[in-house]
Amino acid sequence: MRTTVGIIGAGPAGLLLARLLHNAGIDSVVLETRDRAYVEQRQRAGILEQGTVDVLREAGAAARMDREGIPHDGIELRFDRRRHRVDFPALTGGRSVMVYAQTEVCKDLIALQLAAGGPLLFEAEALAVEGAGTEQPRVRFRHQGREDVLECDYVVGCDGSWGVARKAVPADVSRVFERTYPYGWLGILADVPPSHDELVYARHDRGFALLSMRSPTVTRAYLQVPADTDAADWGDEEIWDELDRRLETDDAWTLKRGPITAKSVTPMRSHVHEPMRHGRVFLAGDAAHIVPPTGAKGLNLAVGDVVTFARALVERRDTGSDARLEAYSATCLRRVWQAERFSYAMTTMLHRAPGATPFDDRIQFAQLDRITTARSAEADLAESYTGFPLD
Ligand code: APR
Ligand code: PHB
């Protein structure tokens, strides 16, 4: 098998890349180790930055998002039983975000790719990427019980945090930067309308809580829990009681409860793999970087990477210049580290670490105080949350 761009992984990064390349007249093949149903059901965060919304629209992949997505012009911060709203458009010159689940983005992109696009092979596991330093890198893969080789001009590893593409970068040139947080998130989906019309991020002495949504009838919510928590250990009423405590306010706000339909625990870590390119092998999305979910940046960073790659490849085709491809890693890493910084700041400002001291608590309150009283600090949060324009 031969193609211009071999794409490993059909998460949002790989799927969007295939679409961008197809629209630009560049052929690709996507290899995905899981089956379609699995990819379409995986629960992930659901906040699309302004730049991501714009890219999906330009790519012709936004019809359902524009019908069903919920535009949000702000978030609420809760602490000390108080509420503070951050008004995104007012602070950023008109930028906002869209609430539309990542699973739905994937479903839309898969449907488009299968209707009009290059091959998208499910249950096709990439085993190794070879020849990164040559003009013709290859992906060895297994599909329907048979081993095969995909010959490419370029390989893009969009194969997530446990993928194989990363191994194509030799150990002596790669560096990994990591931080594991001493807590995780217990996430639930519940068949009950959201209790607030925007997302609520709450700092509480008992730990962080987040109130989100998937639709006008489905609530998504999270509780900070110890990292080794088993979701099955939490009863439904216990979860609602804990959300109630951590989200409590001095006004008449109340939490709506309903049947919980899914429960899972997500670990929290930051991870960056540098560089994001070796020869003709490129890394994009979770394959190169993980952020804790507090800033809702994971999907948006993946989008930034593949947009940068697609534009660089189009430039090479149109002008013969490799300059943008060569700058790929540096261009993406600058954005990645801004997202790491923001996600780290949001996470440590809002979570209560085991062993936190009264000093740590005071620092958190001072940070929240700054955001709620200094326009520059609040604007910094709003700009980082809604995302910077893609260059
Ligand atoms: N061969 C083929 N496919 C593979 C292989 C392999 N060896 N290893 C992993 N994959 C597939 C996974 O099954 C998955 O479908 O690669 C895909 C990677 O997709 P994601 O994990 O969704 O990563 P990405 O597309 O980078 O999206 C980033 O995902 O984790 C969230 O918060 C993150 O929202 C962000 C988004
Ligand atoms: C979600 O709705 O899943 C979600 C929202 C905001 C976050 C993280 C997750 O910061």
User: Residue 341: is its pLDDT beyond 80?
Assistant: yes
- What is the per-residue pLDDT for 65? 97
373: exposed, middle or buried (Cβ count in 10 Å: 0-12, 13-18, 19+): exposed
Q: How far is the CA of 45 from the centre of ligand 2 (A)?
A: 5
Q: Does 82 map to a domain?
A: no
Separation of alpha carbons 21 and 7, rounded Å: 11
Nearest CA to ligand 2 atom 9: 45
Separation of alpha carbons 236 and 45, rounded Å: 21
Which whole number is the average pLDDT over 259-271?
96
Q: How many domains does the chain have?
A: 2
Q: Are residues 276 and 333 in the same domain?
A: yes
Which whole number is the average pLDDT over 371-382?
98
Nearest ligand atom owner, CA of 214:
2
Q: Which residues are catalytic?
A: 72, 201, 293, 297, 385
Separation of alpha carbons 27 and 117, rounded Å: 8
Q: What are residue 224's phi and psi, to 5 degrees?
A: -65, 130
Q: Are residues 279 and 162 in the same domain?
A: yes
Domain limits for position 359:
181-268+352-386
Which pLDDT tens digit goes with each residue over 27-85?
Answer: 999 999 999 999 999 888 889 999 999 999 999 999 999 999 999 999 999 999 999 99
Mutate to test the pocket of ligand 1, among 7, 49, 122, 158 (most ligand atoms within 8 A of CB): 158
Dihedral sign, CA of 239, 241, 243, 246?
Answer: negative
User: Residue 361: is its pLDDT beyond 80?
Assistant: yes
Q: How does residue 280 score in pLDDT terms, banded at 50, 70 and 90?
A: very high
- What is the per-residue pLDDT for 154? 98
**Nearest Cα residue to 48 out of 21, 68, 31:** 68
Which CATH number characterizes residue 102's domain?
3.50.50.60
Average pLDDT, the chain: 96
Q: Are residues 131 and 211 in the same domain?
A: no
Q: Are residues 69 and 51 in the same domain?
A: yes
Q: How far is the CA of 155 from the centre of ligand 1 (A)?
A: 15
Q: Which atom of ligand 1 is nearest to the CA of 106?
A: 22
**Nearest Cα residue to 7 out of 78, 109, 115, 85:** 109
Separation of alpha carbons 38 and 373, rounded Å: 45
User: Residue 268: is its pLDDT beyond 90?
Assistant: yes
Q: Are residues 323 and 282 in the same domain?
A: yes
Please say whether the beta carbons of 102 and 299 come within 8 A: yes
Q: Are residues 339 and 307 in the same domain?
A: yes
Nearest CA to ligand 1 atom 22: 11
Separation of alpha carbons 338 and 124, rounded Å: 34
Q: Are residues 64 and 168 in the same domain?
A: yes
Q: Does 209 map to a domain?
A: yes
Q: How far is the CA of 188 from the centre of ligand 2 (A)?
A: 11
- What is the per-residue pLDDT for 235? 97
Q: Are residues 142 and 258 in the same domain?
A: no
Please say whether the beta carbons of 129 and 157 come within 8 A: yes
Which pLDDT tens digit goes with each residue over 285-306?
Answer: 999 999 999 999 999 999 999 9
Residue 141 is encoded by which pair of tokens? 């893969």
Nearest ligand atom owner, CA of 75:
2
Q: How far is the CA of 201 from the centre of ligand 2 (A)?
A: 10
Q: Are residues 115 and 42 in the same domain?
A: yes
User: Residue 172: is its pLDDT beyond 80?
Assistant: yes
Q: How far is the CA of 162 from the centre of ligand 2 (A)?
A: 22
Separation of alpha carbons 57 and 43, rounded Å: 23
Q: How far is the CA of 101 from the centre of ligand 1 (A)?
A: 16
Separation of alpha carbons 371 and 380, rounded Å: 9
Mutate to test the pocket of ligand 2, among 210, 211, 220, 351 (most ligand atoms within 8 A of CB): 210
Q: Does 86 map to a domain?
A: no
**Nearest Cα residue to 266 out of 244, 291, 243:** 291
Q: Which atom of ligand 1 is nearest to the CA of 287?
A: 26
- What is the per-residue pLDDT for 43? 81
Q: Which atom of ligand 1 is nearest to the CA of 124?
A: 2
Nearest ligand atom owner, CA of 143:
1
Please say whether the beta carbons of 285 and 305 come within 8 A: yes
Q: Which atom of ligand 2 is nearest to the CA of 220?
A: 2
Residue 172 is encoded by which pair of tokens? 């002596």
User: Residue 388: is its pLDDT beyond 90?
Assistant: no
Please say whether the beta carbons of 44 and 192 come within 8 A: no
Q: Does 372 map to a domain?
A: yes
Q: Are residues 276 and 262 in the same domain?
A: no
Residue 18 is encoded by which pair of tokens? 């295939």
Q: Does 84 map to a domain?
A: no
170: exposed, middle or buried (Cβ count in 10 Å: 0-12, 13-18, 19+): exposed
Q: Are residues 207 and 287 in the same domain?
A: no
Please say whether the beta carbons of 313 and 26 come within 8 A: yes
Residues at CB less than 6 angstroms from ligand 2:
45-47, 199, 212, 220, 293-294, 296
Q: Are residues 273 and 304 in the same domain?
A: yes
Which CATH number characterizes residue 360's domain?
3.30.9.10
- What is the per-residue pLDDT for 327? 98
Residues at CB less than 6 angstroms from ligand 1:
8-14, 31-34, 39, 44-45, 102, 125-126, 158-160, 163-164, 285-287, 298-299, 302
Q: Does 197 map to a domain?
A: yes
- What is the per-residue pLDDT for 390? 80
Nearest ligand atom owner, CA of 109:
1
Q: Does 338 map to a domain?
A: yes
User: Residue 87: is its pLDDT beyond 90?
Assistant: yes
- The pairing of strands 146-157 and 2-8 is parallel
Which pLDDT tens digit goes with each residue over 185-237?
Answer: 999 999 999 999 999 999 999 999 999 999 999 999 999 999 999 999 999 99
Q: Which atom of ligand 2 is nearest to the CA of 214?
A: 2
Separation of alpha carbons 234 and 67, rounded Å: 35
Q: How far is the CA of 336 from the centre of ligand 1 (A)?
A: 17
Q: Which atom of ligand 1 is nearest to the CA of 163?
A: 8
User: Residue 391: is its pLDDT beyond 90?
Assistant: no
Amino acid sitting at position 312: A
- What is the per-residue pLDDT for 44? 84
Q: How does residue 389 score in pLDDT terms, banded at 50, 70 and 90?
A: confident
Q: How does residue 117 score in pLDDT terms, banded at 50, 70 and 90?
A: confident
- The pairing of strands 199-203 and 289-290 is unpaired
